[in-house]
Structure 1
Amino acid sequence: MSNTIDRRHFLQLTSVGVGVAFASGLGFDVFAAGPTLTDTFGEDFYFVQLSDTHWGFKGSDKNPDAAGTLQKAVAAVNALEPPPDFVVFTGDLTHTTDDAQERRRRMAEFKAIVGGLKVKDIRFIPGEHDASLDKGLAYQEFFGPLQYRFQHKGIHFIALDNVSDPAAQLGIEQLAWLKAELAQLPPDAPIVIFTHRPLFALFAAWDWTTRDGQAALDLLMPYQNVVVFYGHIHQTHHHNTGHIQHHAATSLIFPLPAPGSVPKRAPIPWNSAKPYDGLGFRQIEAYPWHNYRLQEHPLAVTVAL
């Protein structure tokens, strides 16, 4: 257990704003239901969530460093000590294009860049920019299944696809698959869901919802320890549906306004006085007893260092 203690002490001593200092915008504690473990944790660990890289996007007024921001994020993740157990990209890996050949070129370039991560356990889920125009055909060629499940140190991770269907839904077949996967787990199993769009109706007028997301939440509701991490909205956002917690991540290309705060959803222009403002990635520490500690890494701070 000495390795666990060293890792925990290191994270607590070196992370800025970790814990309940959510007002700082850098740290946030997530506590699931009580300490009734069915699975045994070997040790605490952490993983990193990156989202909405939109490789191939061009727009100097939105991000004049669109061709370099992803590489900076990769370097920042590589500088983390100790390194994360794995890295997950929660969708919109590439920016949409009608040209199937260009779509594949962007995916190849993206994959080559993130191949520079020192951590080789890299997980992906699609965003609508990656998968909605061809129902995920090109995405699967480069990144594998649109939906899948894996287990890591006692936690059950489930990746859902709510983007390859142009209707912005999970669909009957995937919901049946989710039901079957969950049926194998006890009610107190720690479950982490990865998805691109929010499963709840955050702001439907801006496509910030999943049409049949409530059906997925109904399937998850009997489980006591569920946390959802998603992207799509290009900003941090925290929400509860009952005991299920939902946490959106910032983008690595441009921020978007708060839901419904302006008449039209549009990227927030680049702030030359604060380069990379609103961009970043997230560190998620998983502790025994189903606790998760979120630490935001603003890219503006990381690049300045």
Structure 2
Amino acid sequence: MMDRRDFLRLGALGGGAVFLSGLYGPAQADSSVDDFYFVQLSDSHWGYKGPANPEADSTLRQAVEAVNALPQPPEFIVFTGDLTHTTDDPAERRKRMAEFKRIVGALKVTQVHFLPGEHDASLDKGEAYQEHFGPTHYSFDHKGVHFIALDNVSDPGARIGEAQLAWLKQDLAQQPQNARIVVLTHRPLFDLAPAWDWATRDGQQAVDLLLPYPNVTVFYGHIHQEHHHMTGHIAHHSAKSLIFPLPAPGSQERRTPLPWDPAAPGKGLGFREIEAETTPVAYQITEFAARKG
């Protein structure tokens, strides 16, 4: 019988790019910890209208249908920010969030975790976001893995902030040294392209708090493309967008969306499965297109 891991490898050969993080901690014989997988979606920008995606009103629904069609349902789903597209109108902002929430309510999973992006939260410091989705930062545990959701967008200056850093320090202090830790965030915690707002001004302070723990992996969004980076032993993986792709970091003067291709409307868009192998610690990532091109 083919197990899930074999299925994922075959799926990867069929066109999805697989990246194995290379992050291995000491093997721990712990029968209470099971492997599992979850789905990461990011940057749906619900409410966007423009030439970068003339089909913006259907892309999110197509992603929901694609996730629901997976052969095995994920144990949970995470949305790593920019759920909606920015607007100066507080009423419109709330309308878009309500519409987004209604659409993703069709996902056939029991748990969905949300994070804000700067489009959701920077103009009102997360007020509307919290009304619809709850806290902007939090932690939870799943099958022996400790997940930490960080908010590096509610502050319009792209900072995590002293209060949240103190919360992170306290949260980490409750974890054993060999804890399996996954950090979820919107912006990269490292300086990928600061001139493009692809950085967190105090992100290094968060990384410094995480570095003493040998089993840490970060999943983020914001840059609308797949990207992999290491800070010491910590692997950082970005996700594709559900609305439009952006150019490679620093490859041009401005971070304008890549041109829409009507012959391949799903080009550069997608979501990912992440399989957690907890003993030893590793994450296998399988990229999926949001729709057929």
TM-score scaled by length of structure 1: 0.92
> Is structure 2 residue 138 aligned with structure 1 residue 142?
no
> Is structure 2 residue 24 aligned with structure 1 residue 28?
no
Tell me: CA distance 1:226–1:111, structure 2 relative to 1, closer, same or farther (3 Å). Answer: same
2:292 alignment counterpart: 303
Q: How far did 1:7 drift? A: 3.2
1:245 alignment counterpart: 235
Q: How far did 1:283 drift? A: 0.5
Q: Pick one of 211, 218, 234 that aligns with 2:201.
A: 211
> Is structure 2 residue 62 aligned with structure 1 residue 62?
no
Q: Runs ≥4 in structure 1, deviation > 6 angstroms?
A: none
The question of whether the paired residues in 2 share the 8 Å contact of 1:94 and 1:129 is answered with yes
The alignment-based identity, stated in percent, is 64
Q: Pick one of 12, 17, 33 that aligns with 2:13.
A: 17
1:230 alignment counterpart: 220
Structure 1 spans left out of the alignment, 5+ residues: 19-23
SS in 2 for 1:43: coil
> Is structure 2 residue 240 aligned with structure 1 residue 260?
no
State the alpha-carbon separation in 2 of the partners of residues 132 and 39 from structure 1: 42
Q: How far did 1:286 drift? A: 0.6
Match runs of 1:160-175 below 5 Å: 160-175=150-165
State the alpha-carbon separation in 1 of the partners of residues 122 and 29 from structure 2: 38
Q: How far did 1:41 drift? A: 4.7
Tell me: CA distance 1:278–1:37, structure 2 relative to 1, closer, same or farther (3 Å). Answer: same
Q: Deviations over 1:68-106 (max 9, x none)?
A: 000000000001121100000000000000100000000
The question of whether the paired residues in 2 share the 8 Å contact of 1:91 and 1:232 is answered with yes
Q: How far did 1:40 drift? A: 5.1
Q: How far did 1:44 drift? A: 1.3
Q: How far did 1:25 drift? A: 6.2
Q: Pick one of 264, 280, 284 that aligns with 1:274.
A: 264
The question of whether the paired residues in 2 share the 8 Å contact of 1:38 and 1:186 is answered with no
Q: How far did 1:38 drift? A: 8.3
SS in 2 for 1:104: helix
The question of whether the paired residues in 1 share the 8 Å contact of 2:75 and 2:110 is answered with no
Q: Deviations over 1:276-297 (max 9, x none)?
A: 1000001100113111100000
> Is structure 2 residue 108 aligned with structure 1 residue 111?
no
The question of whether the paired residues in 1 share the 8 Å contact of 2:8 and 2:286 is answered with no
Tell me: CA distance 1:232–1:168, structure 2 relative to 1, closer, same or farther (3 Å). Answer: same
TM-score scaled by length of structure 2: 0.96
Code of the aligned partner of 1:57: Y
> Is structure 2 residue 182 aligned with structure 1 residue 198?
no
The question of whether the paired residues in 1 share the 8 Å contact of 2:36 and 2:275 is answered with yes
The question of whether the paired residues in 2 share the 8 Å contact of 1:162 and 1:197 is answered with yes
SS in 2 for 1:67: helix
State the alpha-carbon separation in 2 of the partners of residues 273 and 6 from structure 1: 36
1:45 alignment counterpart: 36
State the alpha-carbon separation in 2 of the partners of residues 31 and 44 from structure 1: 16
Q: Deviations over 1:122-161 (max 9, x none)?
A: 0000000000000000000100100000000000000000
The question of whether the paired residues in 2 share the 8 Å contact of 1:63 and 1:253 is answered with yes
State the alpha-carbon separation in 1 of the partners of residues 32 and 23 from structure 2: 15
2:3 alignment counterpart: 6
Tell me: CA distance 1:39–1:196, structure 2 relative to 1, closer, same or farther (3 Å). Answer: farther
The question of whether the paired residues in 1 share the 8 Å contact of 2:49 and 2:56 is answered with yes
Code of the aligned partner of 2:76: F
Q: How far did 1:45 drift? A: 1.0
Q: How far did 1:12 drift? A: 3.7
State the alpha-carbon separation in 2 of the partners of residues 297 and 36 from structure 1: 30
The question of whether the paired residues in 2 share the 8 Å contact of 1:255 and 1:278 is answered with yes
SS in 1 for 2:13: coil
Code of the aligned partner of 1:104: R
